[in-house]
Chains A and B, each alone.
Chain A
Amino acid sequence: MRYEIVKAGESRSFPTSHPFLEQAGPHGEGLFYLGTDAGSAFGNGEGHESRSFVAIELGTECLGSHTGEHRGEEGSNVVGFARFRLGDADPSPLVELVRQPGTHPAAIEAARAVFQAAGLVVAVCNDFPGRIVDRLIRPYFNAALRRLDEKLASADDLDKTLCLGLGYPEGPISLLERTGLAHHFRVTQALHEALGQEPYAPARRARVAAEREERVKRGLP
């Protein structure tokens, strides 16, 4: 399927060249809004109804904040998406494709086909804060940081246990330090506000990292 891309700010999903970007054309049946301002660009866009699908790149917000919601029956040919990316790490091959209750199945399948043709793996989810991966891993990461503070075990032993016991390629402490604790703080803060559940409240170490990052940005010692 031919598709076009409207860029609206920096994209966390596609920060560098990728077959998905290269395969886009000036016109197409599908339309992608990419970047931090994708939602605003969608709001200012026209002719969406005539497209096979329209896809908006999401941050931590729900698709409904761009399309609106009504009686649990909302949905059209508009879908949301985000390529999962942990902090400063490269984006993963996973695209979380977001639907609403009334989203047209054909729109989902058309968007899925485009991502898969670009070599990406698609998981479909409904329109909830955190989608699938952030919703699942952020409480686990918070718990790991809290238990490190409580000296359950050393950082190395925490990581080693989860890698040896469950076959994880990298333990949570190492993963968060490598990709950015401050980013974890920002995601969990947004999820905590959206969901109001204690396990999403940013762990102390993530808060300290974000405060430290802010001080460095402001040139403070």
Chain B
Amino acid sequence: MTTIKTVGVAGAGTMGAGIAIVAARAGFKTIVFDARQEALDRARGQTEAFLKKSEERGKLPAGAAAAAMSRWEGTTALDDLASCDIIIEAIFEDLAVKHQLFGQLNEVCPPDTIFASNTSTISITEIAGGSGRPDRFVGMHFCLPAQLMKLIEMSPGLATSEGTFQTAWAFAEAMGQKPVATQDTPGFILNYFLIPFNNDAIRLVEQGVAEPADIDTAIKTALGYPMGPLELLDLVGMDTQKLLCEAMHGLTHEPRAACPPLVRRMIAAKRLGKKTGKGFHTYGDTKMFGA
């Protein structure tokens, strides 16, 4: 049972839009903040299209899409988040910018509003330290695409109160998600394992161990994984993998997390993956998953 009624989402990019879909679809009044009106317009359009398609496919009952949209509200005014019981931040991975945002939110919101961050790499404790309410701060890392993936990695910071963590956990379950508890360490669980694993696959290509198609075939056949690591990297994009590596390696200094030179060469050659039609594999179209 959750006490949360109104949800704020700060940032209307891909992750923020997806998180807002999850909240609105689950029956919560959802206020999406972004300083850029065009980002809000795009998020609203994507949300409408996604919910409509879900209804057409029978994944939502008739009328559910319109009901969810009636709970979805976009705003460029930070003050509009004052009525939220929880605010989930989903802006880009920059500690100083996150501190600035939460500092402003701390001025606007009542003391009992819980702050959450969807960060995938930055320490929850560090972000919470600049929020003005480190005891009412929690990590809630959704997976991409948030509107389809059930997992949320829930991380308490060092100062997070047990009550805050339990309230956020109950809220995650009330949204129909599947929370898992993890320590506040770089990459939490998923990215801690995935980024080096994908880098290892890239290094097999670099070292001439096997061709990309053989590597993907081997991993899928041997372990039953739905995608090979290089197919997944083509979806993630080399540019994103480089950013993830830089964030992870900068924090952990683990050699496996360091960006392989081949990634930089592929970026220079515009072989970013599916979005440019060529990465480790070649694609006939550039449509992304879920589009």
**A residues whose Cβ falls under 8 Å from a Cβ of B:** 84, 86, 92-94, 96, 121, 123-126, 128, 131-133, 135-137, 139-140, 143-144, 147, 151-154, 157-158, 160-162, 164-170, 198-199
A123 touching B189 in the complex, CB below 8 Å, given contacts A136-B204, A151-B183: no
Interface pair B209/A128, CB less than 8 Å apart: yes
Asked if B243 is at the interface (CB within 8 A of a chain A CB), the reply is: no
Closest to B153 in A: A161
Interface pair A158/B189, CB less than 8 Å apart: yes
Interface pair B190/A166, CB less than 8 Å apart: yes
Whole-angstrom distance between the alpha carbons of A125 and B229 in the complex?
A: 16
Closest to A83 in B: B222
Whole-angstrom distance between the alpha carbons of A199 and B180 in the complex?
A: 26
Contacts of A96 in B (CB 8 A): 218
Contacts of B196 in A (CB 8 A): 139-140, 143
Interface pair A125/B153, CB less than 8 Å apart: no
Interface pair B180/A161, CB less than 8 Å apart: yes
Whole-angstrom distance between the alpha carbons of A155 and B32 in the complex?
A: 36
Could you list 23 examples of A-B contacts with CB < 8 Å? A94-B217, A94-B218, A94-B221, A121-B221, A123-B214, A123-B218, A124-B211, A125-B209, A128-B207, A132-B215, A133-B218, A133-B223, A135-B209, A136-B219, A137-B223, A152-B182, A152-B192, A153-B180, A157-B180, A161-B189, A164-B149, A167-B227, A170-B224
Contacts of B183 in A (CB 8 A): 151-153
A133 touching B219 in the complex, CB below 8 Å, given contacts A147-B192, A165-B143: yes
A-contact 0/1 string along B99-114, CB 8 Å cutoff:
0000000000000000
Question: Top 8 A-B pairs ranked by shortest CB distance?
Answer: A123-B218, A164-B151, A125-B210, A94-B221, A132-B218, A123-B214, A167-B226, A161-B189
Interface pair A125/B214, CB less than 8 Å apart: yes
Whole-angstrom distance between the alpha carbons of A158 and B149 in the complex?
A: 16
Asked if B283 is at the interface (CB within 8 A of a chain A CB), the reply is: no
Interface pair B222/A168, CB less than 8 Å apart: no
Contacts of B194 in A (CB 8 A): 165-166
- Shortest CB-to-CB span from A215 to chain B, Å, is 31
Interface pair A161/B182, CB less than 8 Å apart: yes
Place the interface of chain B in its size category.
35 or more
Contacts of A86 in B (CB 8 A): 222
Contacts of B217 in A (CB 8 A): 94, 121, 123
B:203-260 near A, CB below 8 Å: 204, 207-211, 214-215, 217-219, 221-227, 229, 255-256
A152 touching B189 in the complex, CB below 8 Å, given contacts A121-B217, A124-B214, A166-B225: yes
Whole-angstrom distance between the alpha carbons of A212 and B217 in the complex?
A: 35
Closest to A140 in B: B197
Closest to A197 in B: B255
A123 touching B193 in the complex, CB below 8 Å, given contacts A133-B222, A139-B200, A164-B151: no
Whole-angstrom distance between the alpha carbons of A198 and B200 in the complex?
A: 13
Interface pair B222/A157, CB less than 8 Å apart: no
Asked if B278 is at the interface (CB within 8 A of a chain A CB), the reply is: no
Asked if B71 is at the interface (CB within 8 A of a chain A CB), the reply is: no
Whole-angstrom distance between the alpha carbons of A147 and B183 in the complex?
A: 10
Interface pair B223/A157, CB less than 8 Å apart: no
Closest to A84 in B: B222
Whole-angstrom distance between the alpha carbons of A166 and B220 in the complex?
A: 12
Interface pair A164/B182, CB less than 8 Å apart: no
Contacts of A143 in B (CB 8 A): 192-193, 196
Asked if B14 is at the interface (CB within 8 A of a chain A CB), the reply is: no
Whole-angstrom distance between the alpha carbons of A150 and B197 in the complex?
A: 19
Asked if B185 is at the interface (CB within 8 A of a chain A CB), the reply is: yes
Contacts of A124 in B (CB 8 A): 210-211, 214
Interface pair A140/B193, CB less than 8 Å apart: yes
Interface pair A168/B223, CB less than 8 Å apart: yes
- Shortest CB-to-CB span from B174 to chain A, Å, is 18
Contacts of B208 in A (CB 8 A): 126
Contacts of B218 in A (CB 8 A): 84, 94, 96, 123, 125, 131-133
Whole-angstrom distance between the alpha carbons of A140 and B180 in the complex?
A: 20
Closest to A99 in B: B210
B:175-202 near A, CB below 8 Å: 178, 180-183, 185, 189-190, 192-194, 196-197, 200-201
A160 touching B192 in the complex, CB below 8 Å, given contacts A123-B217, A124-B214, A166-B225: no
Interface pair B204/A135, CB less than 8 Å apart: yes
Interface pair A136/B197, CB less than 8 Å apart: yes
Contacts of A161 in B (CB 8 A): 151, 153, 180, 182, 189-190
Contacts of A168 in B (CB 8 A): 223-225
Asked if B133 is at the interface (CB within 8 A of a chain A CB), the reply is: no
- Shortest CB-to-CB span from A217 to chain B, Å, is 28
Asked if B150 is at the interface (CB within 8 A of a chain A CB), the reply is: yes
Whole-angstrom distance between the alpha carbons of A143 and B248 in the complex?
A: 15
